[in-house]
């Protein structure tokens, strides 16, 4: 079983608004409402791929109740800690005409120390039979930046693998906890390393830098697919993977689906190369639908033949 953790769960509402313009009145042509937050998006995609998964985290108020109802309606196993604060609502506006999307995310609730301890106790219970734990998304207000790092340290001591997908200081501290895999997007990885990535050499250096900070494996999602540094025992190999060309409807949550696709393929015992192809195909398939974490696995299977994978040469020692 895989456990996903979403501290800042939300109700995600995605509106399709052709020719969206600021300051104008619009009528949405379509709308999708789902339980959201990065960990929940990963859980949704894993379930679509047939992987046993349970979603946990923090929910509060009427919005939190609705999050749990939405998860139950989707038959996604869940076991969340209830908190006093109100869970957030997030809105995304997708403009299929201009090929753009606009996100408006609330800050989310304040969380007490007792509520965080209740979540850690929940994790200790849920991970007794877990293969790995995915920490994904931002931290709520008043949660210390090293929460992911401290939780990861405890899990690693119990021989539970940790996957981390977050940003900023929580990402930097979490990487130092030596997780099995970190999966930032390109902008988050650039901020972590302290430089922009423009070519293969930049990406190679960036992957190696993040690995040297403590991550055993690194998967950076990009607009075109992903780059990755993956270890077979102690031997690291780096890859660039390009998605086949598609006409995207919405890119919201595509990185979460890509990560889920990789984890599902590795769960099934497939090689790194096969897993990366599956991951990028799943991410591409998700851009053809509205709704974070939603995609058609059959469409992903069809797209896989068009995925391009190449190995990046090792960074030469200075």
- Distance from C-alpha of 227 to C-alpha of 210, rounded to nearest angstrom: 12
25 phi, psi to nearest 5 deg: -90, 135
Please say if 296 is a catalytic residue: no
Task: Give the distance from CA 57 to its chain's centroid.
Answer: 14
Q: Where on the phi/psi map is residue 136: left (φ > 0), alpha (ψ -120 to 50), or beta? A: beta
Can you read off the two tokens belonging to residue 120?
Answer: 């850690």
DSSP 8-state class, residue 304: G
Catalytic residue among 95, 145, 256, 296: 256
DSSP string covering 51-111: --EEEEEEEEHHHHHHHHHHHHHTT--B-PEEESSPPEEEEEEEETTTTEEEEEE----B-
Q: Where on the phi/psi map is residue 14: left (φ > 0), alpha (ψ -120 to 50), or beta? A: beta
Radius of gyration of the chain (CA): 19
- Distance from C-alpha of 241 to C-alpha of 309, rounded to nearest angstrom: 4
Q: Which positions are catalytic? A: 256
């Amino acid at each position: 079983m895989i456990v996903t953790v979403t501290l800042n769960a939300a109700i995600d509402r995605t509106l399709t608004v052709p020719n969206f313009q600021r300051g104008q009145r619009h009528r949405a042509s379509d709308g999708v409402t789902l339980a959201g937050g990065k960990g929940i998006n990963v859980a949704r995609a894993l379930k679509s791929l047939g992987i046993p998964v349970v979603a946990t985290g923090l929910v509060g108020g009427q919005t939190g109740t609705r999050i749990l109802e939405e998860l139950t309606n989707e038959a996604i196993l869940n076991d969340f800690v209830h908190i006093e604060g109100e869970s957030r609502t997030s809105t995304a506006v997708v403009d299929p005409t201009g090929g753009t999307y606009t996100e408006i995310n609330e800050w989310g609730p304040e969380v007490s120390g007792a509520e965080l301890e209740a979540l850690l106790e929940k994790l200790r219970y849920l991970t007794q039979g877990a293969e790995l734990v995915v920490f994904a998304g931002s931290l709520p207000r008043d949660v210390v930046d090293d929460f992911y790092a401290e939780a990861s340290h405890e899990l690693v001591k119990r021989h539970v693998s940790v996957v981390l997908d977050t940003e900023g200081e929580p990402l930097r501290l979490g990487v130092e906890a030596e997780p099995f895999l970190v999966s930032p997007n390109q902008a988050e990885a650039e901020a972590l390393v302290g430089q922009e990535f423009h070519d293969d050499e930049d990406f190679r250096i960036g992957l190696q830098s993040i690995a040297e900070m403590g991550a055993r494996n690194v998967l950076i999602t990009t607009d075109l697919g992903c780059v990755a540094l993956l270890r077979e025992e102690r031997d690291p190999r780096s890859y660039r993977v390009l998605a086949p060309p598609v006409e995207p409807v919405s890119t919201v949550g595509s990185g979460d689906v890509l990560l889920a696709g990789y984890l599902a393929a590795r769960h099934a015992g497939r090689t790194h190369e096969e897993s990366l192809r599956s991951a990028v195909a799943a991410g591409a398939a998700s851009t053809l639908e509205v709704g974070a974490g939603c995609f058609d696995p059959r469409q992903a299977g069809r797209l896989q033949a068009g995925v391009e994978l190449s190995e990046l040469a090792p960074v030469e020692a200075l």
